Amino acid sequence: MQLDRRTFLVSGLAAGGALLLAPGAAQAMVDEAVAAFTGGADVAEATDLTLTAPEIAENGNTVPIEVSAPGATAIMVLAAGNPNPAVGTFKFGPLAASQFASTRIRLAGTQDVVAIAQMADGSFQRVSREVKVTIGGCGG
Amino acid sequence: MADNVKPRVRVPRQASAGETITIKTLISHPMESGQRKDSDGNVIPRSIINRFVVDFNGENVIDFALDPAISTNPFFEFESVVPESGTFTFTWYDDDGSVYTDEKEIAVS
Amino acid sequence: MTRKAFVMPMLTVAAAMAAAPALADETADLVVNGEIEMVTRTAAPAHVDGLNEVISGWVFRSDETQDLQTDDFDNPGMIFVDQARDDFETAMGTEGQSCADCHESPEELAGVRATYPKWDEERGLVQTVEMQVNECVTERMGAEPLKYDGGDMTNMVALISSVSRGMPVDVAIEGPAQSVWEQGRDLYYTRTGQLELSCASCHEDNYGNMIRADHLSQGHINGFPAYRLKNAKLNSVHARFKGCVRDTRAETYAPGSEEFVALELYLASRGNGLSVEGPSVRN
């Protein structure tokens, strides 16, 4: 087989895509994590919860995100397309000045990042954002 | 424990009572996800910091549970209220049972 | 295959990808910790034929990556500077001396990074900061040399660089260093590897273009050691050279080799006038 640059690039992309889980399997893991966090309670669309993430991440190894939910007691973050979707669960104590956290996460590829907040009254809110993860250049 | 784990924490030296302050923390840690393989094809076992807790004078500020998707050298930024002078304690819990700590004092006027 | 025939289809493919990275605000200013003002663009030095303006690699990164370098508590490279600060105070070798026994504090070494690589009259060669560190380690401290591009060495170079941040790179290329500089220049323009690429093919002729999803910079080294998101650690200049040369599918020179020292001198001189940024944050 003659492997020119273009076929190499395309097959490389296909191989990269195969690293991501099939959508069905990933969705089941996300649903399971959400159920564990909410105890099966209803989850409303976000009104007080915001998730800030780059539209396009330069490197999936280190993607800056911020979550904020005034009045929340905890915020769970999931990366729906990672082999293991769990990212972290941020609980805020009595001395937290705000229900805000900023961190850096790993994304295995382009996917939705999901945040779910547990509000002080026990209700839950959800928001998600798609982050496109670019596939590197020469990389060196 | 992971080699050379070093915390880096920024807390203002002083604040006024009840003021909101921003805290930033970084700690050197590989956060080995358990998803990678070595050159022989064996899975490299997961080894991460799985919990990060900050208290002020014994009262809780934040308590974060961390999963393998947190990047190498974990970074966090958050906000705290400081009711009086005292000490922030920062505690990172490693999968292998190691605990890394740091403290910062703040003077409230 | 000529280089043009090779590069063009690659650029077309990259441009066609939906997920090209957001290009940074190329007019943004880099100020670190609200006080260190960096020169990220300036007129090219007279000895650089192929560029009118020299531009720091910082300019080519995405907004999010740029932000990581603006505050020492956001820059993960600074953790390793802290580790080197501890090493600076640690006695080693048969003489039981630490760096601090001679140099008191790292801040005393401000300005060093900006002028290296530099001709060393006594040894009769061009020395990099790494070589200078190992001269101290072996001759003054009586210890085993640090691995040229190992973690301890790269951390120490990052510490020495960090105290020069904001100073203009100003390496000397005339006098006894000139022949080494010329060797470096020849290496820079020589095509190598199965892909027949020279440093200039990417970093002089195609900076600003995409190589797949990556935004090609001018390849200056004022930001090294650099904390790369790719491997989440500090990367030395010579380790980066090795990666670049390998990607041309050539056998690479070794870190610390005469060839890479010459290339480092030449590359540093291309960035004369840019600020010392190391430890920078790059993709």
- Which tens digits make up the pLDDT trace of C237-254? 999 999 999 999 999 999
CB C272 within 8 A of CB C160: no
- As for how many domains chain A has, the answer is 1
Residue A136's pLDDT is what? 65
Retrieve residue A12's tokens.
């490389």
Neighbours of chain B (3+ CB pairs under 8 A): A, C
Task: Output the 3-class SS for chain A.
Answer: CCCCHHHHHHHHHHHHHHCCCCHHHHHHHHHHHHHHHHCCCCEEECCCCEEECCCEECCCCCEEEEEECCCEEEEEEEECCCCCCEEEEEEECCCECCCEEEEEECCCCCEEEEEEEEECCCCEEEEEEEEEECCCCCCC
Q: What is the spatial distance between Cα A127 and Cα A117, in angstroms, rounded to a whole number?
A: 9
SS3 B35: coil
pTM over 0.90: no
Q: pLDDT confidence of C59, banded at 50, 70, 90?
A: very high
Quick count: other Cβ atoms within 10 Å of Cβ C117?
30
B109: which DSSP letter? Answer: -
Q: How many helices (H) and strands (E) does chain B have?
A: 0, 8
- Tokens 């500077």 belong to C81
Closest listed residue to residue A61, CA positions, set C242, B43, B30, B1: B30
- Cα(B36)–Cα(A80) distance, rounded to whole angstroms? 19
Query: Do B80 and A96 meet the contact criterion of CB atoms below 8 Å apart?
Result: yes
pLDDT tens digits, C137-193: 999 999 999 999 999 999 999 999 999 999 999 999 999 999 999 999 999 999 999
Q: What residues of A are in contact with residue C17 (Cβ under 8 Å)?
A: 134
CA separation for the pair C280, B8 (Å, rounded): 17
CB contact under 8 A, A89 and B59: no
Dist CA C160 CA C133 (whole Å): 10
| pLDDT over threshold 80, residue C5 | no
Furthest-apart CA pair in chain C: how many Å? 61
Any A CB within 8 A of B64 CB = yes
Task: Write out chain B residues lying below 8 Å of C79, CB-based.
Answer: 6, 8, 26-28, 73
CB contact under 8 A, B64 and A95: no
Q: Of the candidates A127, A136, A87, which has an alpha carbon nearest to the alpha carbon of residue A107?
A: A87
Residue C23 has pLDDT above 50, yes or no: yes
pLDDT given at position C211: 87
* pLDDT tens digit at each of 109 positions of chain B: 566 788 999 999 999 999 999 999 999 999 999 888 988 999 999 999 999 999 999 999 999 999 999 999 999 999 999 999 999 999 999 999 999 999 999 999 8
Residue B70 forms contact with C (CB below 8 Å): no
Residue C28: pLDDT band by 50, 70, 90 thresholds?
A: confident
Angle between helices C77-88 and C151-162 in degrees, nearest 10: 100
Q: Is the pLDDT of residue C75 over 50?
A: yes
Domain span at residue A38 reads 2-131
List chains adjacent to chain C, taking adjacency as at least 3 C-beta pairs closer than 8 Å.
A, B
The letter for the amino acid at A22 is: A
- Strand A72-79 to A86-92 pairing: antiparallel
A77 part of a folded domain: yes
- Axis-axis angle for helices C237-247, C258-270 (nearest 10): 100
Residues of B in contact with A101 (CB under 8 A): 62, 64, 76-78
The pLDDT of residue C213: 81
Report CA-CA distances (Å) from B2 to A43, A103, B24, B53, C232.
39, 21, 22, 19, 15
Residue C3 pLDDT: 43
3-class secondary structure, B57:
coil
Is residue A136, in this structure, part of any structural domain at all?
no
User: Is the confidence metric ipTM above 0.90 for this complex?
Assistant: yes
Sequence-ordered alpha helix ranges (H) in chain C: 3-16, 63-68, 77-88, 99-103, 112-115, 129-135, 151-162, 178-189, 199-203, 237-247, 258-270
Q: Which domain CATH number covers A47?
A: 2.60.40.2470
| Distance from the C187 Cα atom to the nearest Cα atom in chain B, whole angstroms | 32
Q: Which two tokens stand for residue C193?
A: 């590897």
Answer whether residue A44 is part of any domain.
yes
Q: What pLDDT, in 10s, does the model give residues C263-278?
A: 999 999 999 999 999 9
Token digits for C77? 């490279």
In a domain, A138, yes or no: no
Residues of chain A with pLDDT under 70: 1-25, 136-140
DSSP state of B41: S
- Identify which of B8, B24, B71 has the shortest CB distance to residue C79: B8
3-state helix, strand, coil in chain B (%, to 5): 0, 60, 40
Enumerate the residues of chain A whose CB falls inside 8 A of the CB of residue C68: 64
Which residues of chain A are within 8 Å of residue B55 when distances are taken between CB atoms? 93, 95
A81 contacts A98 by C-beta, under 8 angstroms: no
Residue type at A18 in one-letter notation: A
Q: Does B30 touch chain A (CB under 8 A)?
A: no
Q: Decide if A135 touches C, using CB distance below 8 A.
A: yes
Active site residue C244: yes
Share of chain A above pLDDT 70, in %: 79
**Which residue is it, tokens 């784990």?**
B5
Q: Would residue A62 count as lying in a domain? A: yes
pLDDT at A76: 98
* DSSP at C118: E
Taking an 8 Å cut-off on Cβ atoms, the answer to whether C229 and A135 are in contact is no
- Tell me, yes or no, whether A64 lies in a domain: yes
Contact between B75 and C74 using a beta-carbon 8 Å cutoff = yes
Across the interface, which of C17, C62, C202 has its CB nearest the CB of A58?
A: C62
Q: Please give the Cα distance from B77 to B8 (Å, whole number).
A: 12
pLDDT for position C25: 63
| pLDDT attached to residue A25 | 64
- CB-nearest partner of A105 from B60, B65, B69: B69
A84 in a domain, yes or no?
A: yes
